């Protein structure tokens, strides 16, 4: 369970601004955002069970991120891991749109998920459950565990706070603050995704923390004139565990 808000072509200094929370079981082994030794053109966290990632950027100007789709009646995993998707996109020569179209043809190989793909020409969203492919227009957009801009309380809350924040600042601390929002949705506003009502309540904040599960990382990604500015704040059992920062220079035609 994750949430990602994006400002796309709405800021004069940053054509892409991303603020994202990655939620996962605390016991699942994970590496924080880093430059990969085995693929030094990639900066991403790493899931040490499947060796994929949930959010990645590269020095070839690409960005990709995935979230799962919350419906317990659907298979969560498939023949291929959705954590491979951001890495595959960064490593391909296909455009974001072409890659999403390839995913359409192969969606039966994956569990249910959303993906956001950016190649400097387009921002593309694809949802494997609805088979929904969108070239995302400029604006403020958010995806959690339904599809793009589904009007869940946490999605609307994060879009609103993100929009207000970037009107005055894009500083990491301000964006981290809105990602740390622990307010639960009112019971009558909760979505019905098929999980027990009590769990629906626990999953309704932007920042999640309950027994054994919660937000493991908050990540800020901003495109710059020369590349990317990245900041990530990690958490252990709901408590602050550290920050990392990267300034990445784009190197086109390199993989």
Q: Is there a contact between 75 and 105 (Cβ–Cβ < 8 Å)?
A: no
215: Cα separation from own chain's centroid: 12
Spatial separation of the C-alpha atoms in residues 27 and 123, rounded to whole Å: 33
pLDDT over threshold 80, residue 7:
yes
Per-residue model confidence as pLDDT tens digits over 148-173: 999 999 999 999 999 999 999 999 99
Q: Confidence band (pLDDT; 50, 70, 90) for 254?
A: very low
Q: How many residues does the chain have?
A: 255
Q: What is the pTM of this model?
A: 0.95
Per-residue model confidence as pLDDT tens digits over 51-89: 999 999 999 999 999 999 999 998 878 899 999 999 999
Q: Confidence band (pLDDT; 50, 70, 90) for 252?
A: low
Spatial separation of the C-alpha atoms in residues 33 and 139, rounded to whole Å: 26
Q: Is there a contact between 216 and 22 (Cβ–Cβ < 8 Å)?
A: yes
Which residues fall within 8 angstroms of residue 123, CB to CB, at 6 or more apart? Answer: 6, 8, 16, 96, 116, 117, 135, 136
CATH for the 2-249 domain, from 3.60.60.10, 3.30.1130.10, 3.40.50.150, 3.40.50.720: 3.60.60.10
How far from 137 is each of 17, 66, 207, 234, CA to CA, in Å?
14, 19, 27, 31
230 versus 253: which is more confidently predicted?
Answer: 230
Per-residue model confidence as pLDDT tens digits over 170-204: 999 999 999 999 999 999 999 999 999 999 999 99
Q: Is there a contact between 47 and 83 (Cβ–Cβ < 8 Å)?
A: yes
pLDDT of residue 251: 86
Beta bridge partners of 19: 5, 220
Q: How large is the C-alpha radius of gyration of the chain? A: 17
Three-state SS at 189: helix
- Domain positions in the chain: 2-249
Spatial separation of the C-alpha atoms in residues 21 and 160, rounded to whole Å: 16
Q: Is there a contact between 209 and 216 (Cβ–Cβ < 8 Å)?
A: no
**Angle at CA 171, nearest 5°, toward 154 and 169?**
80
């Amino acid at each position: 369970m994750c949430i990602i808000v994006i400002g796309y072509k709405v800021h004069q200094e940053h054509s892409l601004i991303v603020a994202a929370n990655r939620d996962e079981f605390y016991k699942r082994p994970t590496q924080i955002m880093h430059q990969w030794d085995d693929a030094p053109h990639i900066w991403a966290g790493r899931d040490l069970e499947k060796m994929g990632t949930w959010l990645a950027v590269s020095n070839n100007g690409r960005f990709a991120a995935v979230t799962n789709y919350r419906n317990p009646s659907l298979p969560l995993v498939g023949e291929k891991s959705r954590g491979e998707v951001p890495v595959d996109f960064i490593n391909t020569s296909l455009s974001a749109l072409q890659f999403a179209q390839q995913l359409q043809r192969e969606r039966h190989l994956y569990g249910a998920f959303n993906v956001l793909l950016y190649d400097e020409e387009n921002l593309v969203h694809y949802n494997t459950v609805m088979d929904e492919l969108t070239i995302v227009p400029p604006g403020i957009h958010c995806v959690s565990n339904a599809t793009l801009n589904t009007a869940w309380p946490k999605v609307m809350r994060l879009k609103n706070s993100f929009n207000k924040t970037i009107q005055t600042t894009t500083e990491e601390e301000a964006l981290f603050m809105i990602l740390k929002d622990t307010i639960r949705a009112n019971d009558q506003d909760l979505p019905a995704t098929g999980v027990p009502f009590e769990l629906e309540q626990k999953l309704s904040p932007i920042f999640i923390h309950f027994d054994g599960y919660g937000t493991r990382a908050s990540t800020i990604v901003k495109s710059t004139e020369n590349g990317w500015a990245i900041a990530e704040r990690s958490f252990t059992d709901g408590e602050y565990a550290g920050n990392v920062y990267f300034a990445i220079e784009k190197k086109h035609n390199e993989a």
